A = this chain, B = another copy of it.
């Protein structure tokens, strides 16, 4: 981009069209409740509405903005105050604008040298977050550990697993036929990304052990201990345990302290996945979720879920950065730099699968500075309180049962009319466009999940949606 170009967008055109896009987004948020939360299109409908071939000649940019009219019917509105599916992926004004600056700069922070600010602001805000969430000090860059931004918790977990794999095999995983065979442990309620990471990292499909959970859907430490011992007896090498703080099904919280002691006893890498729930620790009253975290080798939570920093932004902390760097680093001649060779700087490329990296730390900078610690606490607290209120309403109704504890911002419930009824109820609710909930299955029962986290969701929205759920159930008889 510059002042004069026949081929490229000029800065004047960028200003003019950029204002339009800003207005388009503001208008979108002002009208977001007028869209069906879950898109109503049929498979193929959007594609069929698009031109078959790309244009030979360029088009006017204003027309291209208008193309959004073709695409909007096919959007599911994650930022709607009536979105209660999966977990929230909460955005905010300062995060959107910070991402815009980062995209505008178009810098690539793979090496310190290729944008020192990109690296140093990342290190700085991730150290801030250790204190903001009262995480163990060993996760700070000033210790032997440190933090790094990844795209998603799937990647954070995969990198932890790679670190664990090389730790357990002294960097010799699969080097020859006599290599140790590793096993990995998660609860039966863990996120699918852990199993996926085990697949990707080549541990083989027999490596995973699903540990039973208790009545509150948390891993049973004794079962873990028994399984580890049984595997050792078979000549296997237990190499990785993942404890979850806030499972996807029910926000169950695995007992990190008990699990951690077992891991220490056997020198097994403990990873803690707090992708959604971790942000709750902004508030002192919810920090119980991290009890025992000082025993973890690595930890991940996603500011892009419940900390107002739009997708993608997952934070991975490790207690020993050398373990990760040794497992991941490959430095060819064209990526060598003086400060990198001297160990004077962090080159985050050695902490990630992708080589290139955006300046994502800027989003965290903007969000933390815009809200301040107190503003972020307020947001979390309101979400949890609204969720507890909803739980009370559901309990009081009499036709529903709560099927799991509600420690934070997710209520799991089912209508007492049985599985088929709940399936129908779920389908009808989502088809209405008035809200979007996720269904899951626990102990053979279909249940509905009601997750609260959008910044614009108020208790009035929750009340209306709950009334709508009840009406829908009544209409089904």
Find A101's partner among B21, B38, B249, B438 (CB 8 Å cutoff). B21
> How far apart are A330's CB and chain B's nearest CB, in angstroms?
4
Does A181 reach chain B (CB closer than 8 Å)? yes
Q: A58-B371, A67-B365, A103-B99 are in contact. Are A116 and B9 (CB under 8 A)?
A: no
Chain B residues with CB under 8 Å of A418's CB are: none
A363-402 vs B, CB cutoff 8 Å, 1 = contact: the mask equals: 0011011111111001100000000000000000000000
Does A107 reach chain B (CB closer than 8 Å)? yes
Does A193 reach chain B (CB closer than 8 Å)? yes
What are 22 A-to-B residue pairs whose CB atoms are below 8 Å? A2-B30, A17-B97, A25-B101, A43-B344, A54-B369, A55-B369, A55-B372, A57-B375, A74-B117, A76-B115, A85-B114, A86-B334, A91-B106, A154-B356, A158-B353, A173-B202, A173-B204, A177-B177, A195-B330, A202-B202, A333-B441, A334-B449
Find A354's partner among B64, B124, B154 (CB 8 Å cutoff). B154
Binds B, one of A44-52, A225-233, A466-474: A44-52
Interface residues in A294-314 (C-beta closer than 8 Å to B)? 304, 310-312
Interface residues in A1-57 (C-beta closer than 8 Å to B)? 1-3, 5, 7-15, 17-19, 21-30, 38-39, 41, 43-47, 50, 53-57
> How far apart are A174's CB and chain B's nearest CB, in angstroms?
3
Interface residues in A78-124 (C-beta closer than 8 Å to B)? 78-79, 81, 85-86, 89, 91-94, 96-97, 99-101, 103-108, 112-118, 120-121, 123-124
Q: How many residues of A contact B (CB 8 A)?
A: 164
Q: A46-B121, A91-B106, A179-B204 are in contact. Are A55 and B368 (CB under 8 A)?
A: yes
Q: How many copies does the complex hold?
A: 2
Q: A71-B121, A121-B50, A368-B55 are in contact. Are A333 and B79 (CB under 8 A)?
A: no
Find A202's partner among B73, B203, B368 (CB 8 Å cutoff). B203
Does A187 reach chain B (CB closer than 8 Å)? no
Whether the Cβ atoms of B366 and A64 lie closer than 8 Å is yes
Chain B residues with CB under 8 Å of A134's CB are: none
Whether the Cβ atoms of B131 and A53 lie closer than 8 Å is yes
Find A201's partner among B44, B114, B201 (CB 8 Å cutoff). B201
- Bound CA span A179–B132, Å: 47
Whether the Cβ atoms of B76 and A107 lie closer than 8 Å is yes
